Structure formats: structure tokens, C-alpha cells
A and B are shown apart, each in its own frame.
Chain A
Amino acid sequence: MDASVSAGVAQRGLRGDHFAGAVLIAIAAFMAWENRVYPLGSLASPGPGSVPLMLALILGGLGLLIIARGAGSPLLNSIDWSESKRGLVLLIACGVATFALERIGYRLTMIALLVFIIGVVERKKVLPTALVAFGFAFLSYFLFATLLKVQLPRSPWGL
């Protein structure tokens, strides 16, 4: 196959900006739909739904313009997501920690979160993992809760 032809073939496909613009239009449509329950009022007395609707329309318009100008953007499948798996694991771990925060207290939550990230995700040795996890949890609690009087949740067992 001719090189220029193969380059042309390689350049075909959905562009990043086409996809992003479409998502923005979808968000705008969703906001406009959700906004229907709020009164629009009149020009002399704009209601609570007026500005959100105006913004949704602007966002939709910008989404269209981004699509229209998106031909030069990188191909969607050329975007590198190599670190996304680790990122997703971190987000899920933080989500679990958030769920646990007010149930088992700040210190136990932080110890569990750090042990998971450093020990399991980063595969570090047990001793340094434990030192960082316990050290961070107790020192940060002392600094914020004890010295700076910031209220942090405690576990039912007092920790």
C-alpha cells in the first residue's frame, strides 16, 4: 500500500475533540432536561430556571463548535490511558476509605488506605509500609485534631 494512502487511513477515525464535544452536548441536553422543573420566569423577573437554561444552551453551542473545529485534534484511540488502571484502583480505594471514614474513624481508615496503596498497589516491604501508614495516621491526627483543633472522626473503639 502507498505510504500516503496508509497515512490517510491511519488518520481516519473519531477525534478526541469530536468525542469531547459530543459529551458536552449530552451534558447540556441533560441539564436543560433537568432544568424543566424550575420556573423560567419572565425577562423582567427571571426565575431560577432561566440562567441554568441559558448556560446549558451556551454549553451545547460550544460543544458543537468544538466538534466543528475538532478535525485537527488527536485521534480518540491515540490518547494514552496507560496509567488509568492504577488511577481507577486508587479512586476505588479512596471511595472505600470515604465510606469507612465516619464508621471506623480517621486513623484506622488512613492506616488501611495507606497499607493498601503502599503495600498492595506499590508492593513495598511490610516494615516501611507499616511505618508510613501508622506514622502518617497518628502524626496527622495529632497535628490536625489535637494541635489545630480540627474535628476528625473517631472509631467506636476510641481510635
Chain B
Amino acid sequence: MDGVFGNLMLGFSVALQPSVLAYAFAGCVIGTLVGMLPGLGPLAGISLLLPATFGLDPIVAIVLLAGVYYGAMYGGSTTSILMRIPGEAASVMTCIDGYAMTQRGRAGPALAIAAIGSFVAGTFSVVALMLLAPTLATFALRFGPPEYTALLTMGLLVLSYMSGGSMLKTLAMATVGLLLGMIGIDAMSGYTRFSYGQTELADGIGIVPVAVGLFGLSEILMTAGQAATPPAQRPTLRQLIPSADEMRLSIGPIVRGSFIGFLIGIIPGAAHIISSFVSYGIERRISAHPERFGQGAIEGVAGPESANNAAATGAFVPMLALGVPTGPITAVMLAAIMVHGIAPGPMLITEQPQLFWGFVASMYVGNVVLLVLNLPLVGLFVNLLRIPYSYLYPAILCFCVLGVYSVGNSVMDVWIMLVMGGIGYVLRKFQFDLAPVALGLVLSPMLELSVRQSLAMSGGSYRIFLERPIAIGMFGAAAVLILLALKPLVFKSKDWRSDVGLDE
């Protein structure tokens, strides 16, 4: 424990440097704005900002991008509560009771509880991250190719099981992502695959053009030409104070949301989105008055908002401890670290203590900044939504082109983004989840390498996956998930996923 405390002090000595503090602040502000704007989720926001971090110190770069990430989590709740517009997908559940509270004149307390819940969950998750990540990193030193194969396979199955859409469709999208990741030079043989003579494709398809295309551009294609946004309420500072009853009702959901969100955040997938669905479902199920949900129940705001912020932090655990991204957002953040020549993986914490502990400490700072920033300035931020969408979306579109081009000064990347935008639009129409495509793309080289290395190690025997305890455990968990997914088909019963708003 003394070691953790000493390391945390080292982290604060980094995070409280004026330059790091300034970038954490800037990240939180940008993130809040990104979270509020429809069409720009945290992934698109982080991807667009990525090129701007290339010239920065790696600690500053990761602190800035993390600020954008959890700033967007906070920002998304504001438009959900005030205008019933989820700025980003994780805030969808907040719309239901948050907007109902606004209609009943309780917008202020809803915003305050969302901010307090986010702060508590964010702080709890940072403590958990701080304690768990170094332990997990030490444990991960025992991982070889079979364990990584099992981990990545389990991650993709968990993502599919927990996804908001059909498990089959999610698995199909993950497979499409894995296939996209096959494009480019094969690391083991040197063959260039599926590049059709395009030298730019030899390096493979980058996560940024795919992410911006699938999440940013396709959203604009869906929403361009939509009706003007409805006017938003601007609660005063005094109106933000929740009543004693609202505070009492919120404590349980905040605690449960923090815990559930962090646990879900560690698992690969669109964790922050799933966690808010699960939290809402649980709160509704255990409530003594479930009929209040949908009519302005404060628990319906406190739980999901805490959960999505806790999940946002939880996602950093495997990213920092194992070097394995749990989703497209952490994948882009890993790319930001790797640009600076820092190799992610279990050795990161010991080899780059300033980066890890500085990042952890900056998250404490970021949570305080967001609490201080969001509540008093909510009226100011809402002004942004007064910009007519017909002016806003063309500018976002130009930012997409600018951001993607500037990552590698490559026009090919912009073409990839446009193609992905069109594909993303069509996939949304057919109710396919897009996150697995991006995650599959990121995990693809790792998964392929570990599968082939495992088989090479065993002389071609698949038994290697059944001879190593860690791999057996993970494959066992994956098998349980498959059986759980098959259960409703065999027994004609509903499983728990339908109760929390996820499709079977």
C-alpha cells in the first residue's frame, strides 16, 4: 500500500505541473463540448484530436485524450436531460428519466445528481484502477500466445453477448473487423495481403479513419437535414440543488452504478454504453416502485450516469495493464502512446511509472475539474446547442476530413473514412452494432499473431489451448457465454439481457 501511495505522489507531481493541468482542463472542456454535440461522440472527438497530440509529451497527450473521454461522458448527460438528445450513445438511458424530470421542472437536480454520480463513480474507478492495474500487469507477465488468444476470443464473445443488438450480428461485425485487420503486411511471413497494389494499404487500415467514418460520418449522414433542435432550459445555480429525498434515493444507484460500471468497463466492448443499460435495468428491477421509471425517477439518472463514467475509467485497466484495448476509444489512445515509441503491455507500469501514475493522478484532477466546470457553466455550454445544425454538421464534416487526413497526411485515409461512413450508414439501417468492427480491426493483428504463434509452439496441436490453466479458464468463460446465449433458443425463455434493454 505504501508503494501505491508513493507512486501516487509521483503521479501527482506530474499531474499538477501547470502544463499537464492546463491540458487536462482543455481536454475536459473539449470533451464536454464533444459529448454535447450530436454527431461527435468521444471516439470521433478523440480521433480528431489525435494528430494534435503527436507533437506533445506522451503524458500530456494521454492526459488530454483521457480528459476528452470522460469529459464527453459528462457532456452527453446535459443534452440528454435538458433536450432529450443523447450527445453520445451512453447517455441514451439518461434521456428517459432525465428529460421526464426536466418536464416536471426538476432539470437542475437531475443535472446535479448526474454530475455528482459521475464524480463519485469516476473517483471510485480511479482508486480501483490504481489498485488493480499493477496487480493485473504482474499477473499478465505469465501470459503467452495461448493466453492472449483465449483473452481476445473471450473479449470478443463477451462483447457480442453484452452488446445492445443481436449477438449473431455483433459477432458478424467483429469478424468483419477482424477481416479488415488482415489487410496489409503479414507480420510473420511478410506477405502483403488484400492491398490490390495500393502501397498505402500495405501498412493496413488505421483505426482512426475507420472510427471516424463509422461513428462520426455515418451519424452525420443519418442526421443531416433533421429538424431544428428544440430550445433548452438553462437552470440557475440555485435550481441545481437536489432535495434531501432526491439525494437519499440517489445514493444506492450511484454506488451500484459505480461498481457495475467499473466491472463492465474492464471487459472488452462498448462498455460505457452497455453499463448504462445494465445499470438502468437493475435499478428498475430492484426498485420498490418500478412504475416511477420513465416518469422522472432520479434513480434512472443516477445509476446510468455513474455506470458510464465508471466504465470509462474501467476500460483503462486492460489497456494499461495488458496493452489490450477494450474498445475503439482505448485503441486510439494506445495509438497515441505508441506514436511516441512507448510499447503498451504489462511492462508499461514498471518501465513508464511517470506516464502511468501521472495519468492516474490526472484522472483525480480531471474529475474535480469536471464537477467544478459542469454545474456552474451548464448554461454556457447549452448555448452551443443554439448553433443551427445546418451550420454545425458541415463544420463537423470538415473536422472529420481534417482530423483523418492529418493523422498520416494520407488522402487514402480520407477515402477509407468516406467508404466506412457509407458502410456505417447502411449497417445502422440494418441495425448492426458498429463498435465490434472497430474493435475487431484493432484486435486482429494481435489475435492472428497469437493464434499462429500458439500453433507453431505446439507443433500444430490445438491442445495447447487446453493445457494452460489461464487459457482454459478464459475459454471456459467464453463457452459459458455461448451456452447462456443459446439458452433462450432451447428453453424458449427470456434471459436477463432482455430485462435490461439488450436484445437476445
Contact = CB atoms under 8 A, between A and B. Distances in A.
A46 B456 contact: yes
A159 interface: no
A132 B395 CA distance: 8
Contacts of A142: none
A19 B169 CA distance: 13
Contact of A44 (B179, B217, B455): B455
A4 interface: no
Interface in A38-83: 38-39, 42-52, 55-56, 58-59, 62-63, 65-66, 69, 73, 79-81, 83
Contacts of B448: 51
A2 B432 CA distance: 36
Contacts of A114: 394-395, 398
A98 B186 contact: no
A46 B455 contact: yes
Nearest to A92: B418
A94 B221 CA distance: 12
Given A48-B191, A51-B448, A106-B402, A83 B224 contact: yes
B168 interface: yes
Contacts of B175: 55, 58-59, 62
B224 A113 contact: no
Contacts of B390: 118, 122, 124
B391 A51 contact: no
Contacts of A90: 220-221, 224, 397
Interface residues of A, number: 65
Contacts of B166: 66, 69
Interface string B217-234: 100111111000000000
Contacts of B188: 48
A6 interface: no
A19 B432 CA distance: 13
B415 interface: yes
Chain A interface helix/strand/loop/mixed:
helix
B485 to A, nearest CB: 12
Contact of B179 (A52, A65, A110, A140): A52
Contacts of A149: 55
A56 B172 CA distance: 10
Contact of A91 (B193, B395, B399, B418): B418
A65 B459 contact: no
Contacts of B447: 51
Interface in B433-479: 447-448, 451-452, 455-456, 459-461
Contacts, number: 164
B182 A51 contact: yes
B401 A97 contact: yes
Contacts of A106: 402
B398 A113 contact: yes
A117 interface: yes
B422 interface: yes
Interface stretch (B87-95, B377-385, B404-412): B404-412
Interface in B170-200: 171-172, 175-176, 178-179, 182, 186, 188-189, 191, 193-194
B178 A55 contact: yes
Nearest to A115: B394
Given A98-B401, A98-B415, A43 B429 contact: no
B37 to A, nearest CB: 15
Interface in A89-118: 90-91, 94-95, 97-98, 101-102, 106, 110, 113-114, 117-118
Contacts of B169: 20, 66
A87 B474 CA distance: 43
A144 B402 contact: yes
A62 B168 contact: yes
A47 B189 contact: yes
B414 A117 contact: no
Most buried by A among B178, B193, B398, B429: B398
A152 interface: yes
A27 interface: yes
Contacts of B411: 98, 101-102
Contact of B51 (A87, A122, A150): A150
Given A16-B430, A65-B168, A113-B394, A44 B456 contact: yes
A9 interface: no
A19 B429 CA distance: 12
B168 A38 contact: no
B421 interface: yes
Nearest to B56: A148
Contact of B460 (A39, A44, A101, A152): A44
A62 B422 CA distance: 22
A66 B414 contact: no
A152 B225 CA distance: 30
A79 to B, nearest CB: 5
Contact of A24 (B172, B414, B415, B455): B172
Contacts of B54: 150
B431 interface: yes
Interface string A8-21: 00000000110110
Given A20-B432, A56-B179, A59-B172, 12 more contacts: A51-B448, A66-B168, A87-B224, A91-B221, A94-B217, A95-B418, A101-B411, A101-B414, A110-B402, A144-B52, A149-B55, A151-B409
12 contacts: A35-B193, A51-B451, A55-B175, A58-B175, A83-B224, A94-B421, A95-B415, A98-B415, A140-B399, A148-B55, A150-B51, A150-B406
8 cross-chain pairs, A with B, having the tightest CB-CB distances, nearest first = A43-B460, A44-B460, A87-B221, A48-B186, A117-B394, A48-B191, A122-B390, A62-B172
